[in-house]
Chains A and B, each alone.
Chain A
Amino acid sequence: MDNAFFQTLDTTGTSDFRKASVMLAPHALYKRLNDEGIVLDLQGQKYFRLNAVGSRFWEILVDQQRVENVISVLLNEYDVDEMRLLADLRTIIGDLVAAGLVQVTFPSK
């Protein structure tokens, strides 16, 4: 993943970030085990551990690809400030993109 993506992610306004779509990579397999999630990247043959929130985020992504929909679900489930949630999502999505586990599409202007 080139740096341009992260510059885009860093500089994207909140409203555009909300409208971004996040797609799980087809080569990523996921399984929840108790409070943790395990993602297996078949391409890199690497495993990634997700904590409870990361696991829930991944599970929501299976059905909801738009960031704004993900936010809506998470706000219903967690007692968290929306701006804090947005910041955390940027971090999580950035990490997952860096690992090649998700693809993000920003809305065209």
Chain B
Amino acid sequence: MTISDAPVPHTTDLPFNRWGCQQEAHYVEFRRRADGYVVSFNRLATFFISRHSTNICCWPDKGTTNAELEHLHRQTVVPLASSLQGRLVLHAGAVQFGSRSICFAGDPGAGKSTLTAYLAANGRPFLADDSVEITLGIGGAHFAQPGVAAVRLWQDSADAILAANERGAAVLGFTDKLRIERSDHLRHSRTATAVKAICFLRKEPPEASGLHLKGITASEALLELGKHSFWLDSSDHDSSAKLFEKRANLVAAVPCFWMSYPRQYNYLPQVHELLESCFAE
């Protein structure tokens, strides 16, 4: 990534996509140019991604810290740029169970990071918290690649899962989430690991009863995976076709599940136990 002193790239086009709404700190706008894409993070930074994602430039807004830039770059811009090359990056956490891994995808707030951190703090190292690239290995196995060695949690999740001296700090000005680096207690794996299952977390109200893990068909999983993978420009036929093919091959090869449980921290041990009984080797 290059941090540029030049003027922010000009574009007259209206955004072709938006994330969030303008009142939110996480508001992001996407615009096309002939030579690439302009991705604007509200009051934080503007990034330019060249059409074939060979070049990424950044124009930070005044006051944006290096930690914030690095976070935006690694967790969002790089996965988006990867999608232009047809590389499949899931908006998911991934945790290692023996020699295999389980991915946890779901809408924001579904509990991916909380579950990932809980498992990592209880003997199952995490590969990634927020974005995980899936690659195809020799023999046709799908591998989850290790990502950033930190998790991001809301204060109450950190309080429930981690000891007081391991709870990290809110280092990103645009969110109150804490960033917690890997540690002896919160173990991170740096080994690409074959994916054994993908669980799509469903938000459940606190009063919901029971813990549910239900297998879904490959076509259901493909529809769901489309919502939880990075995809910069659906009108770019070549990259979209590659992504579609990769998603389809992934769900055809890897069992996928709906997973839901009450949003209470005291349920996490039961969730862990269920995952161990289903997926441990």
Is B21 close to A, CB under 8 A?
A: no
Contact among B219, B234, B235, B245 with A49 in the assembled complex (CB-CB below 8 Å): B219
Of all chain B residues, the one with the shortest Cβ separation from A41 is: B234
Among the stretches A6-14, A28-36, A79-87, the one at the interface with B is A28-36
Q: Are B235 and A43 in contact (CB under 8 A)?
A: yes
Shortest distance from the beta carbon of B237 to any chain A beta carbon, whole Å: 7
**B122-154 interface mask toward A, CB cutoff 8 Å, 1 = contact, 0 = none?**
000000000000000000000000000000000
User: Which residues of B sit under 8 angstroms from A37, Cβ to Cβ?
Assistant: 219
Bound Cα distance A4, B241 (Å): 32
Q: Are B237 and A36 in contact (CB under 8 A)?
A: no
Is B251 close to A, CB under 8 A?
A: yes
Shortest distance from the beta carbon of B216 to any chain A beta carbon, whole Å: 11
Contact among A26, A31, A34, A45 with B245 in the assembled complex (CB-CB below 8 Å): A31
> Given A31-B248, A49-B219, A42–B235 Cβ distance below 8 Å?
yes
Q: Are A31 and B222 in contact (CB under 8 A)?
A: yes
Bound Cα distance A40, B219 (Å): 12
Shortest distance from the beta carbon of B257 to any chain A beta carbon, whole Å: 16
Is A5 close to B, CB under 8 A?
A: no
Contact among B219, B226, B234, B245 with A36 in the assembled complex (CB-CB below 8 Å): B219
User: Which residues of A sit under 8 angstroms from B41, Cβ to Cβ?
Assistant: none
Shortest distance from the beta carbon of A59 to any chain B beta carbon, whole Å: 14
> Given A29-B241, A43-B235, A36–B217 Cβ distance below 8 Å?
yes
Q: Are A26 and B237 in contact (CB under 8 A)?
A: yes
**A40-61 interface mask toward B, CB cutoff 8 Å, 1 = contact, 0 = none?**
1011010101000000000000
User: Which residues of B sit under 8 angstroms from A43, Cβ to Cβ?
Assistant: 235
Is A89 close to B, CB under 8 A?
A: no
Bound Cα distance A85, B237 (Å): 33
User: Which residues of A sit under 8 angstroms from B251, Cβ to Cβ?
Assistant: 33
> Given A38-B248, A42-B240, A33–B219 Cβ distance below 8 Å?
yes
Is A18 close to B, CB under 8 A?
A: no
Contact among B222, B235, B240, B245 with A47 in the assembled complex (CB-CB below 8 Å): B222
Is B27 close to A, CB under 8 A?
A: no
Bound Cα distance A15, B29 (Å): 51
Bound Cα distance A11, B252 (Å): 42
User: Which residues of A sit under 8 angstroms from B217, Cβ to Cβ?
Assistant: 33-34, 36
Within 8 A of A (CB), among B243-279: 244-245, 248, 251-252
User: Which residues of A sit under 8 angstroms from B226, Cβ to Cβ?
Assistant: 40, 47
The interface centre, meaning the residue of A29, A40, A45 with most chain B CB atoms within 10 A of its CB, is: A40
Shortest distance from the beta carbon of B277 to any chain A beta carbon, whole Å: 27
Q: Are B252 and A47 in contact (CB under 8 A)?
A: no
5 interchain pairs, CB-CB under 8 A? A33-B222, A33-B252, A34-B218, A40-B226, A45-B234
Residues of B within 8 A of A (CB): 217-219, 222-223, 226, 234-235, 237, 240-241, 244-245, 248, 251-252
Known: A42-B234, A42-B240, A47-B223. 14 other contacts (CB 8 A): A29-B241, A31-B245, A33-B217, A33-B248, A33-B252, A34-B219, A36-B219, A37-B219, A38-B222, A38-B223, A40-B226, A42-B235, A47-B222, A49-B223
Residues of A within 8 A of B (CB): 26-27, 29, 31, 33-34, 36-38, 40, 42-43, 45, 47, 49
